């Protein structure tokens, strides 16, 4: 199946279609420049996206992608630093006028997934992963993120004389793991100059022309849960001769579900506790001495995160003790909640409405996780979703699917969105104040 959206006229048609509902409200002359430059560069953005899609790299191995990004930024006269937090790239564009500092982030890594999507630029890349050869695919759409931000860099570099402030471009490695945001921050990506606000986007299989946002918790924290239940091994015919960790584990699994259903205020913030793996015993007539359970904890509020951790630990340890067993509970902190700063979100929503009109919608939170959350802890942040779902429902598949398909008509929408967020923040002129 061939991709759509090629050519400047096709790009301009998408732009005009998406801008029509509210374009007349904008009097900021820089908006028109963004729109014109987006149409002019759209073919190049599509080509970047297809090249990166066909050549995906796993986290902290994005050497080719980082090289393409760095060369592009340097060609625009943007100050470039490479090797940030591993394979990250940071570009600094100084505007012609004094003003604040805004950061725009794109993640670069692919996933160990063998692509099955029917596109002419499908990945054929393989690599070693956990001791075996696997395919590599941009199954989460990060190729779109990189190409979009490369396009934004080209546009804003053309406008630099009119920009009041500085734009930092953060091309981040390893969002899918082991996590590239924290190492980039440790290497000073949010400093020198210090970032005042940070924006990012992620593609989702919602309809093209939709941009989603949410004040507060947008994406969940994701923490690893490991419980080892220790009993006393005995013959299956004489359970009273030991302590059964399997029965205890079953009670713990049921008890953990009441942490969410009975101990968390779900009207305030959702939470999920999942046990996805359980191992114990090797024969039907032997009660083993240990059972291992592995799962995840997801929350959408930092306070709820702390509460659930405490209650999960208490529940497992108490049930184990009641059965004469012991439970060793380990909770490994993963990505924190991705929190959109409420004031920044309200300020910038008109910028999104200019791009897609009624397609800019406030959405319920999602339980996926994102390490953009770390950048948003360093400065007020806004993370948005960009719809890339095709009109043909047979092409619509979730992120991380080997069939994941991104409709390229969304690319100019993403370019305009990030460029407009940056310009409107720097100028202090959201559309509602024009």
Instruction: Give the residue numbers annotated as catalytic, written as ranges.
Output: 335, 408
Say how far apart CA 389 and CA 409 lie, in whole Å: 10
Question: What are the backbone angles phi and psi of residue 266, rounded to the nearest 5°?
Answer: -70, -15
- Contact residues for 191 (Cβ-Cβ < 8 A; gap 6+): none
Q: Is 130 exposed, middle or buried (0-12, 13-18, 19+ CB in 10 A)?
A: exposed
CA distances from 48 to 56, 155, 423 (A): 12, 15, 23
Query: What is the spatial distance between Cα 338 and Cα 220, in angstroms, rounded to a whole number?
Result: 6
Question: CA-CA distance, 118 to 296, in Å (whole number)?
Answer: 33
Neighbours of 325 (CB within 10 A): 25
CB 218 within 8 A of CB 335: no
Q: For residue 253, how many other CB atoms are within 10 A of its CB?
A: 17
For 220-281, the DSSP string reads -EEEEEEEEEE-B-EETT-GGGSB-HHHHHHHHHHHHHHHHHHHS-TTT--EEEEEEEEE--
Label the pairing between strands 132-135 and 164-172. Answer: unpaired
Which residues lie across from 111 on neighbouring strands? 137
């Amino acid at each position: 199946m061939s991709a759509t959206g090629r050519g400047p006229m096709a790009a301009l048609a998408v732009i005009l279609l998406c801008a029509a509902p509210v374009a007349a409200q904008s009097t900021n002359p820089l908006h028109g420049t963004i729109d014109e430059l987006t149409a002019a560069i759209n073919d190049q953005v599509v080509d970047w996206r297809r090249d990166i899609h066909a050549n995906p790299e796993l986290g902290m191995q994005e050497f080719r992608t980082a090289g393409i990004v760095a060369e592009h930024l340097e060609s625009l006269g943007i100050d470039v630093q490479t090797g940030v937090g591993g394979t990250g790239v940071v570009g600094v564009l100084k505007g012609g006028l004094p003003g604040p500092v805004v950061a725009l982030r794109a993640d670069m890594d692919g996933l160990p997934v063998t692509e099955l999507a029917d596109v002419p630029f499908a990945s054929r890349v393989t690599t070693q992963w956990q001791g075996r050869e696997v395919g590599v695919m941009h199954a989460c759409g990060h190729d779109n993120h990189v190409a979009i931000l490369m396009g934004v860099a080209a546009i804003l570099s053309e406008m630099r004389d009119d920009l009041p402030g500085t734009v930092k471009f953060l091309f981040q490695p390893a969002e899918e793991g082991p996590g590239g945001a924290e190492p980039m921050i440790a290497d000073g990506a949010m400093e020198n100059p210090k970032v005042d606000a940070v924006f990012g986007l992620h593609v989702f299989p919602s309809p093209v022309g939709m941009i989603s946002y949410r004040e507060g918790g947008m994406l969940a924290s994701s923490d690893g849960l490991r419980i080892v239940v220790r009993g006393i091994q005995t013959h299956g015919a004489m359970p009273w001769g030991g302590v059964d960790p399997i029965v205890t584990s079953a009670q713990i699994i049921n008890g953990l579900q009441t942490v969410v259903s009975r101990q968390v205020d779900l009207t305030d913030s959702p939470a999920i506790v999942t046990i996805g793996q359980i191992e114990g015993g090797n024969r039907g007539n032997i009660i083993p001495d240990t059972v291992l359970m592995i799962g995840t904890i997801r929350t959408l509020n930092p306070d709820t995160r702390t509460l659930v951790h405490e209650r999960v630990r208490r529940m497992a340890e108490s049930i184990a003790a009641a059965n004469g067993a012991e439970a060793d509970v380990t909770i490994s902190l993963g990505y924190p909640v991705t929190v959109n700063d409420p004031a920044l979100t309200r300020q910038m929503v008109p910028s999104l409405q200019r791009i897609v009109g009624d397609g800019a919608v406030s959405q319920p939170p999602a339980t996926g996780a994102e390490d953009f959350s770390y950048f948003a802890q360093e400065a007020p942040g806004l993370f948005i979703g960009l719809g890339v779902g095709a009109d043909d429902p047979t092409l619509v598949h979730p992120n991380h699917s080997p069939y994941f398909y991104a409709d390229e008509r969304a690319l100019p929408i993403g370019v305009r969105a990030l460029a407009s967020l940056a310009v409107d923040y720097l100028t202090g002129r959201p559309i509602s104040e024009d």
